[in-house]
Chains A and B, each alone.
Chain A
Amino acid sequence: MKQLVNFTLNGETVSCEVDVRKSLLEMLREDFGMTGVKEGCGVGECGACSVIIDGQTVDSCIYLAVWIDGKQATTIEGVTHEDGTLDPIQASFIDAGAVQCGFCIPGMILSSKQLLAHNPSPTRGEIRRELSGNMCRCTGYQKIVDAVQLAAKRLDVEPHARAAIPFTIEK
């Protein structure tokens, strides 16, 4: 059983004939190649699959693909600028040393982006609460909180800043 869904993905209007049994996570990865959306626990406990929908971070593993019809979705691919430059939040995660294995980071950055959109200068407690739906098994969270504070400072100074790519990946 398939259903047509129309929605906005990272600013672009898209549509898809999707199997109604698919989660949003599966549709984004399999039908749109958005592999920055990670599957961790698959039951809404770890936040690796976080996606911003209509301004709110939700777990895409327990979100039916058909529910996205008529809505706006942002994945980590939509946070990076089209020319490949990084968003200040992404750059701050790198500069603060907040990334180890990296699996949780797309979700962490999306939750941080949403937090900073509503609260430009959050306290460490507010950062911890807003990121409490995203689990990291590497870092111990201190540097992730540091990264969000650093991003808040940078965005305060220059709201539309773009960071240069700090390294290149050899192909």
Chain B
Amino acid sequence: MYDMTGYHEAHSLTDVFKLMQADPTARLVAGGTDVLVKIRAAAPHYADTTLIGISRITALKGCTLEADGTFNIGALMTFDQIEHDSLIQTHLGLLSQAVSLVGGPQTRRMGTVGGNICNAGPAADSAPSLFTYNAQIEIQSESNVRQVPIAQFYVGPGRTILKPGEIVTKIKIAPEDYRGFVGHYTKFARRKALDIANLSCAALIKVSAEQRIEALRICFGAAGPVPLRMPQAEAYARHQPLNRAVLNTIGEYCLKDTQTISDWRNSKVFRDHLVTILPGRDISMALRGDEDEAIG
């Protein structure tokens, strides 16, 4: 049995706010693929608490496209739903591809994108692509709704800016942040399924008619305490032609903004090598569909 003190099912956001107010130490659980595992491991602040289940709240499910092209991705969308949603496949191909690499099929059917963000793991597979799309996180409390850029949402490993009484309801992506872009995500892990990334990298690129880089956005997972965008590499890349030398230089620039460490999964030296390699591979994959096909 799980080491928990109680369980309440919320059927609406009103229920959630009421239940959170009644028990401020209670923890929200969506698909349970992180929360239940942490309770099992008796992680601090997880075991011996009451859970509020939110997985039956219809308002947090599904995905809509507003008339102006803004995407609203419900916090309860599972990885499996995001992977197979035709609107997301068409317009946010990078996100669809990235979440197809989460854990295994069983995990992807239960795990949600909102939960993935709120768990704030540095290696979360949905995060790097959401960072490159400049996603806005919509946070609701009983009396307030606010939107925060995803880059400001993370505070540290496992920590976000969420305050007691708040819940993430949706993820918004503006049309200017996906139109004209193509992208690719690499999850560098020891096996293809049921593993956590040693290092991960999402690249989102827009190429001009003159075959130069009009805009490039790169974000690494597991290269620091939180997912990290690469401002210096992105600034360098602007207006550069697409060739192998430029891709290599982009990789070198990324070392200026990553904060890799050695841990039991990998050494810093190996991670830094990957930092220089993965952005170029992602760009080649995004544009040519083949990482070995050198560009230029």
| Chain A residues packing against B (C-beta within 8 Å) | 1, 3, 19-23, 26, 42-47, 50, 56-59, 62-64, 66-67, 111, 129-130, 132-135
Contacts and interface: CB of A to CB of B under 8 A. Distances in A.
B192 A132 contact: yes
Nearest to A43: B37
Nearest to B2: A21
B194 A133 contact: yes
Interface of B: 1-4, 6-7, 9, 29, 32-33, 36-37, 40-41, 51, 53, 55, 80, 103-107, 109-110, 192-194
Contact of A132 (B7, B41, B105, B110): B105
Given A44-B37, A44-B106, A62-B110, A132 B193 contact: yes
A56 B1 contact: no
Nearest to B192: A132
Report which residue of B32, B104, B107 has the largest number of chain A beta carbons within 10 angstroms of its beta carbon: B104
Contacts of A50: 106
B288 to A, nearest CB: 21
A130 B40 contact: no
Given A19-B1, A43-B37, A44-B37, A66 B7 contact: yes
Nearest to B195: A45
A57 B7 contact: no
A114 B193 CA distance: 18
B1 A22 contact: yes
A133 B1 contact: no
Given A22-B1, A64-B32, A133 B40 contact: no
A46 B105 CA distance: 11
Contacts of B33: 44, 62
A18 to B, nearest CB: 10
7 contacts: A21-B1, A42-B40, A44-B37, A62-B37, A64-B53, A130-B105, A132-B104
Nearest to B104: A133
B53 A66 contact: yes
A133 B7 contact: no
A64 B107 contact: no
B7 A47 contact: no
A13 to B, nearest CB: 20
Given A42-B40, A62-B36, A47 B6 contact: no
Report which residue of A3, A45, A62, A133 has the largest number of chain B beta carbons within 10 angstroms of its beta carbon: A62
A21 B48 CA distance: 11
A144 to B, nearest CB: 14
Contacts of A42: 40
A3 B7 contact: yes
B53 A58 contact: no
A13 B80 CA distance: 28
Contact of B55 (A21, A46, A67): A67
A3 B104 CA distance: 30
A111 B107 CA distance: 13
Contacts of A66: 7, 9, 53
A59 B107 CA distance: 8
B37 A20 contact: no
A7 B2 CA distance: 21
